[in-house]
Amino acid sequence: MARKTSIPWPAAPLAPGYLLRFVDLRPHVRLSRQTVLTLEQAGRFPRPVRFGPRCTLWRSADVIKWLNDPEHYRTPPLVESRHGR
């Protein structure tokens, strides 16, 4: 039998200009880590900002855009660097 986990409802609405950890993001999106990862890879969820191998954050402004229309949200294409990095 699957384990049921309790996801708390958000205490306040999201405001642009913040970086969110997954524990801060989850009450707003109500998705599992694996679902978020799958949607990210498909370009249907905002790309995270990586601050190292164990620190992943999402821009609240990007998440707000996704929440406004999750069905039609697409991440903008990455811009290639001309410096070869």
Alpha-carbon torsion angle 34, 61, 10, 23, nearest 10 = 40
Q: What is the torsional sign of CA 25, 28, 34, 39?
A: negative
pLDDT tens string 7-43: 778 878 889 999 999 999 999 999 999 999 999 999 9
pLDDT in tens, 37-71: 999 999 999 999 999 999 999 999 999 999 999 99
State how beta strands 56-59 and 19-20 pair.
Answer: antiparallel
SS3 content of the chain, % helix, strand, coil (to 5): 30, 10, 60
Q: Going along 1-85, which residue ranges are E strands?
A: 19-20, 49-50, 56-59
